[in-house]
Amino acid sequence: MDDKPGCLTGLLKLFALTWLFDWLQDNFGFGKGCSCTGFGCGIILLLIFLALVCSTLLGTDWFRLVSNLSSVFL
């Protein structure tokens, strides 16, 4: 049985990742930090963000609206 989350869960994850990435970039990203240019933290955050987005995109069943509708209401 394929237990991938549904479309709404995938969209919620992408929204949360985008919000978190923007907040982290504003506080710790490019131009911030100990180095003179601040590239270190910005590049690390970008690579982590890209890995999480790829994981979410590939791990979501985009043709199913919700994964377990019965478990939500019970």
The answer as to whether 41 is a domain residue is: yes
The answer as to whether 71 is a domain residue is: no
**Position 66 pLDDT exceeds 70:** no
**Residue range 4-35, pLDDT digits in tens:** 777 888 889 999 999 998 888 888 777 665 65
Question: Among candidates 14, 17, 13, 36, which has minimal Cα distance to 25?
Answer: 17
The answer as to whether 1 is a domain residue is: no
The answer as to whether 72 is a domain residue is: no
The answer as to whether 74 is a domain residue is: no
Q: Is 29 exposed, middle or buried (0-12, 13-18, 19+ CB in 10 A)?
A: buried
The answer as to whether 17 is a domain residue is: yes
The answer as to whether 73 is a domain residue is: no
Domain total for the chain? Answer: 1
Any idea how long the chain is?
74
The parent domain of residue 55 ranges over: 7-66
Cβ atoms of 2 and 58 within 8 Å: the answer is no
Confidence of residue 43 (pLDDT cuts 50, 70, 90): confident
